[in-house]
A and B are shown apart, each in its own frame.
Chain A
């Protein structure tokens, strides 16, 4: 069973995970691996950071900002003059507050548009920052529970439909092989499936230190080589145990990315990591 097969069976992959787990790295590697499978891939980024353009120099990266998207949305509904005034004066915050998640819906609406355009086989979305993945994806459902009618409700209905259809969208959870991130991934997975009904793709375990046990006692007691080996064995054992814990608590296939020690991640490193996920 090829755990990466989902890239060919869905059109939007939303990469989600807490801060520091390597969401952007996984987005880049996933995009690269999908391109190697011959797919036309678009990357969507929501934080306004240029990192993905650097990691994927030959790939189209679209930056979507909630404020800009909401402005465009108002514009396309014939409110262009007011939209400008709203954006400039900060009143857009009031719109967003009066109807929480409206900006998320507009962003998801844009993603839905890209999905429907037929221009791309796969849209990989580097999800919103730490902790907000659930609220972000829940926005459409929450809004529909309070607002009836009107253009935004219509948009929310279409977004909810996309998220509920595994052939259109799936969520790729990212975690690290450590206790806290694993627990968080398990909780997020439960919330995503129960509250949003979105399909989960294989979970990505990033920065895994794997390898055979080193025979620490072959070096003299108190030596640097021995201490280093014991440290490495303990870290690897921790990673193995946490992966097992994850597999038990979250029965999804795991995609693993190896630990790239301390180095600056660049496009060449992304290529090497994509090698890990091989060609079909």
Chain B
């Protein structure tokens, strides 16, 4: 790490950003981190909304929301000058809402919503969730109720889809096959004629003719709506690359998650984006000096061994973290926060406050 680069504290990012994207692999405490960032933002007087797209529905646990989160932002009852809101992205309803909002008329919307191919796209097409998260980010960013949107992305490899989603959509729309499918129905060019195209015929042979007919009907119904989707996708790309967006890389001090984090940092960089801060969760705490002499008494010796083992673990963890942060792996000026493993589990507001304390230690 370049020693001369000015370090931007996590708190400053939180003060200045309009969008914060938390990314990292599964099980590193990404959702909890996003929640703790939201909590701090509220304490700074900002109106923050935390979006989780993690299908594991963990944010509700961490925030102590008894009924669970919904697709609409819920304001959490916290005592802070600002506000903390949270929502859990429901891909299918978000997509339905977009179709309704962007269709030329109710009839077009209904035709799309009833289409079986559309239901498959909205419900299970890989990448749709990521794409809807991008759409949601776009909407929340413009929503006047919120100053900062904090996004908790799904585990690393899917998170890359999140970044790619707007681009993928653009490619999707520009693809010759889709252009063909979305041609306005004219001069008797009906579903049946389309289905006779060699490529489509092949697809039909594999997946079945009626499935294919559904697909064609979908694209024809969708025709005319793609421009709006395209424009928003471009705006999200611009937003993610702009200086109001911050990327927070979340990791744990284990070799495999560090590797994933490195991979992710590289991917961001190749996409012209950058990591602004790193949060390392679940670090084995340090307790202080190990007495030079191992006690003779069995009970005390066991305590000494335990401290030595935990220190050794902490040292190993530290070497993994150094591997991530050293060798110019991170851009200069990246701030790293360390959050220790908590003795209990992270399921209460109290635990969240503890994490917040570690991320944002009181200024000396």
Determine which of B116, B206, B300, B320 lies in contact with A150 in the assembled complex, contact meaning CB atoms within 8 Å. B206
In the complex, residue of chain B having the shortest beta-carbon distance to the beta carbon of A91: B177
Report how far A95 CA is from B215 CA in the complex, Å: 10
B303 touches A228 (CB 8 A): yes
B212 touches A98 (CB 8 A): yes
Q: Does A79 contact B (CB under 8 A)?
A: yes
Q: Does A197 contact B (CB under 8 A)?
A: no
What is the distance, in angstroms, from B183's C-beta to the closest C-beta of chain A?
Answer: 16
Q: Does A110 contact B (CB under 8 A)?
A: no
Q: Which segment of A37-45, A57-65, A260-268 sits at the interface?
A: A260-268
A-B pair number, CB within 8 angstroms: 184
Interface of B is mostly: helix
Determine which of B26, B206, B255, B310 lies in contact with A79 in the assembled complex, contact meaning CB atoms within 8 Å. B206
Residues 8-40 of B at the A interface (beta carbon under 8 Å): 25-28
Residues 298-355 of B at the A interface (beta carbon under 8 Å): 299-300, 302-304, 306-307, 309-310, 312-313, 316-317, 320, 341, 343-345, 347
Q: Does B179 contact A (CB under 8 A)?
A: no
Interface of A is mostly: helix
Chain B residues in 8 Å Cβ range of A224: 287-290, 307
Q: Which of under 10, 10 to 19, 20 to 34, or 35 or more describes the interface residues of A?
A: 35 or more
Report how far A77 CA is from B207 CA in the complex, Å: 12
Report how far A178 CA is from B28 CA in the complex, Å: 13
Report how far A77 CA is from B205 CA in the complex, Å: 10
A97 touches B125 (CB 8 A): yes
In the complex, residue of chain B having the shortest beta-carbon distance to the beta carbon of A48: B157
Q: Which of under 10, 10 to 19, 20 to 34, or 35 or more describes the interface residues of B?
A: 35 or more
Q: Does A94 contact B (CB under 8 A)?
A: yes
What is the distance, in angstroms, from A154's C-beta to the closest C-beta of chain B?
Answer: 12
Q: Does A20 contact B (CB under 8 A)?
A: yes
Question: Binary interface profile of A, 162-185, with partner B (CB < 8 Å = 1, else 0)?
Answer: 000000000000001011110010
B125 touches A227 (CB 8 A): no
- If A86-B199, A130-B154, A234-B343 touch, whether A218 touches B208 (CB-CB below 8 Å) is no
Chain B residues in 8 Å Cβ range of A238: 343-345
Q: Does B284 contact A (CB under 8 A)?
A: yes
B306 touches A214 (CB 8 A): yes
B313 touches A262 (CB 8 A): yes
B202 touches A82 (CB 8 A): yes
What is the distance, in angstroms, from A264's C-beta to the closest C-beta of chain B?
Answer: 4
A98 touches B117 (CB 8 A): yes
Chain A residues in 8 Å Cβ range of B317: 262
What is the distance, in angstroms, from B28's C-beta to the closest C-beta of chain A?
Answer: 7
Determine which of A130, A178, A218, A263 lies in contact with B303 in the assembled complex, contact meaning CB atoms within 8 Å. A218
Contact surface of A with B, Cβ cutoff 8 Å: 18-21, 47, 51, 74, 77, 79, 82, 85-86, 89-91, 93-102, 129-131, 135, 146-153, 176, 178-181, 184, 214-216, 218-219, 223-232, 234-235, 238, 242, 261-265
Closest 4 pairs between A and B when the two form their complex, measured CB to CB: A20-B27, A19-B26, A224-B288, A234-B343
Known contacts A51-B256, A82-B202, A129-B155, then 9 further A-B pairs from the complex at CB < 8 Å, ordered by chain A residue: A19-B25, A86-B199, A98-B120, A215-B299, A227-B287, A230-B343, A242-B345, A261-B309, A261-B313
Contact surface of B with A, Cβ cutoff 8 Å: 25-28, 55-56, 58, 61, 116-117, 120-121, 123-125, 154-155, 157-158, 171-172, 175, 177, 198-199, 202-203, 205-208, 211-212, 214-215, 253-257, 284-285, 287-291, 297, 299-300, 302-304, 306-307, 309-310, 312-313, 316-317, 320, 341, 343-345, 347
What are 15 inter-chain pairs, A to B, with CB distance below 8 A?
A18-B56, A19-B27, A86-B203, A89-B177, A129-B26, A130-B155, A180-B347, A225-B287, A225-B304, A228-B303, A228-B310, A229-B303, A231-B287, A262-B254, A265-B256
